[in-house]
Amino acid sequence: MNIFVDANVLISVLNKEYPAFPFAARILSLHGKGRFQIFTSPLCLAIAYYFSEKKSGTEYANQKLKVIYENIRVSDIRDQDVASTFGNKRIHDFEDGLEYYSALRGKSNLLITENTEDFYFSQIEVLRPKDFMVRYVF
């Protein structure tokens, strides 16, 4: 199962934000184990880095984000994804559109985010980290 994680999931891990942190960290640890492949986009990595650096400084953000990067996959964002985001009248948040099309590019079956309502337009399943763990792991 290919799973795309939104920037807020990465931020929860990097900044140890509760109550999401334990579930988000566990999801990232599933990559390559059994049936799960975890993806994110370059945009999500950049957003997560920004919030981590703001909270904990450049060195910490670099170290932790590099560990995440080395242990998951990164899907592309291409010109056609920008065009698709602009062309989809149901998408009102540009960033969410780019993440969604990046998830599709990575052939993701599921998108994990703390803000499921942001992806009301999604044609793939969208779950919160805790809900994913209950449904697919525990």
Q: Is the Cβ–Cβ distance between 52 and 64 less than 8 Å?
A: yes
- Domain extent, residue 105, equals 2-137
Q: What is the pTM of this model?
A: 0.95
pLDDT band at 40; cut points 50, 70, 90: very high
Overall domain count for the chain: 1
Give 114-127 pLDDT, tens digit per residue: 999 999 999 999 99
Q: 33 pLDDT exceeds 90?
A: no
Q: What is the pLDDT of residue 34?
A: 85
Q: What is the pLDDT of residue 111?
A: 98
pLDDT band at 92; cut points 50, 70, 90: very high
* Residue 127, domain CATH: 3.40.50.1010
3-class DSSP state for residue 138?
coil
